[in-house]
Amino acid sequence: MNRLSTALAGLLMAASALVAGFAAQAREAYPSRAVTLVVPYPPGGSADILARAVGAELGKRLGQPVVIDNRGGAGTAIGTKIVAGAAPDGYTLLLGTVSSQAMNPAMNKVAYDSLTDFTAISPLASIPFVLVANPAAQIDSVAALIARAKAQPDGLSYASAGPGTSNHLAAELFASDAQVRLLHVPYKGSAPALNDVIAGVVPLMFDLQATTLPYLKSGKLKALAVTSRTRSSLLPDVPTLSESGLAGYEVSAWFGLFAPAGLPAPILEQLNAAVTNILETPDMVTRLRQLGAEPQSGDPISYGAYARRESVKWTEVVKRYGLAP
């Protein structure tokens, strides 16, 4: 009996080691199926364009397709909530933005905690906004806009991707600094909002340089100012808002890759390395800069700290200017 028990115990130990080995191999074989990248905006906007560009290259490096899942609405809260509640296995990722991770939670009650519900993987890019007007509005400068807005409080409207989004807060910060009142017209994403500005339904919008450039070149929109600290190399004749009388005004949209909290370290390292490699390739750098975006890369710890600082910053801005609805 003792010999038999010893033999059985040995077999059980060997089987357990074999199962553990198979389990370890299974864990290491990430990814073994398609990865979903949730974009909390409708198709066609800057976030969508960036996600598709990076997602295609990420799929090549992972050896599995990266499927873009557009889940716009509620100022990015719908898509962001989906990722917050997903399994932290690396198969559901988020194209996070300053809106989803900092501005919207500062403005509205959202069903997620941007500080605790996510793992920051890597920054992707930063893009300045452009204050654009429909030419039919006959507003040729920031000074003219402010003068008309003061003469007609709430008489000028502006479009945004939704309450708490970056272009919404960019406009509200502008209105507060300029001491004017503008009428907010929210949409379910920047693409439909910009379409209505082009059509003349709404005269004004703060939209990202990446998506406004084609319409500025065609004359369908007029650029009044950029929101970056310095002039854009793609729009060198367009003044900054700081130059236009709002000293110190600066807002840019940032984009990054996030996963649900608790992402295993090996998968986190693999994804960060892949994204860093993508953003350092000359072709991707050129492509993003042509879109008006500045590529950014970094390690997960530094990027997570940056996202937390941005959350604190915009919470303070919302409180200081009384921007919450």
Confidence of residue 291 (pLDDT cuts 50, 70, 90): confident
What is the model's pLDDT at position 282?
96
Range of lowest pLDDT (43-47, 102-106, 113-117, 307-311): 43-47
Tell me 181's DSSP state.
-
Task: Measure the CA–CA gap between 220 and 153, rounded to whole angstroms.
Answer: 26
Q: pLDDT at position 323, please?
A: 78
Is it the case that residue 241 has pLDDT exceeding 90?
A: yes
Between 21-35, 124-138, 238-252, 294-308, the lowest mean confidence (pLDDT) is in 21-35
Supply the mean pLDDT for the chain.
91
**Is residue 27 predicted with pLDDT exceeding 60?**
no
First vs last Cα of the chain: how many Å apart? 77
Say if residue 253's pLDDT is above 60. yes
Q: What are phi and psi of 273, to 5 degrees?
A: -65, -40
Residue 148 pLDDT exceeds 90 = yes
Residue 25 has pLDDT above 80, yes or no: no
Q: Which domains does the chain have, with CATH numbers?
A: 34-127+253-321 (3.40.190.150), 128-226 (3.40.190.10)
Residue-level length of the chain: 325
Name all contacts of 265-273 with Cβ < 8 Å and 24+ positions apart. 266/27, 266/28, 266/30, 267/30, 267/89, 267/90, 268/119, 268/121, 268/300, 270/30, 270/62, 270/90, 271/58, 271/90, 271/93, 271/121, 271/122, 272/121, 272/122, 272/299, 272/300
- Lowest-confidence segment of 5-19, 44-58, 106-120 by average pLDDT: 5-19
pLDDT value at residue 305: 97
Asked if residue 257 lies in contact with residue 279, where contact means CB atoms within 8 angstroms, the answer is: no
Q: Token match 């369908």: residue?
A: 220
Q: Using one digit for the tens of pLDDT, what is the confidence trace for 110-126?
A: 999 999 999 999 999 99
Query: Is 196 in contact with 132 (CB distance < 8 Å)?
Result: no
Structure confidence at residue 30 as a pLDDT band (50, 70, 90):
very high
**Threshold 0.85, pTM exceeds:** no
pLDDT, tens digit, 9 for 90 and up, residues 14-24: 556 555 544 44
Pairing outcome for strands 294-295 and 157-160: unpaired
The residue that leads in pLDDT, 164 or 304, is: 304
Residue 142 scores a pLDDT above 50: yes
Over residues 249-257, mean pLDDT: 93
Q: Over 80: is that where the pLDDT of 7 sits?
A: no
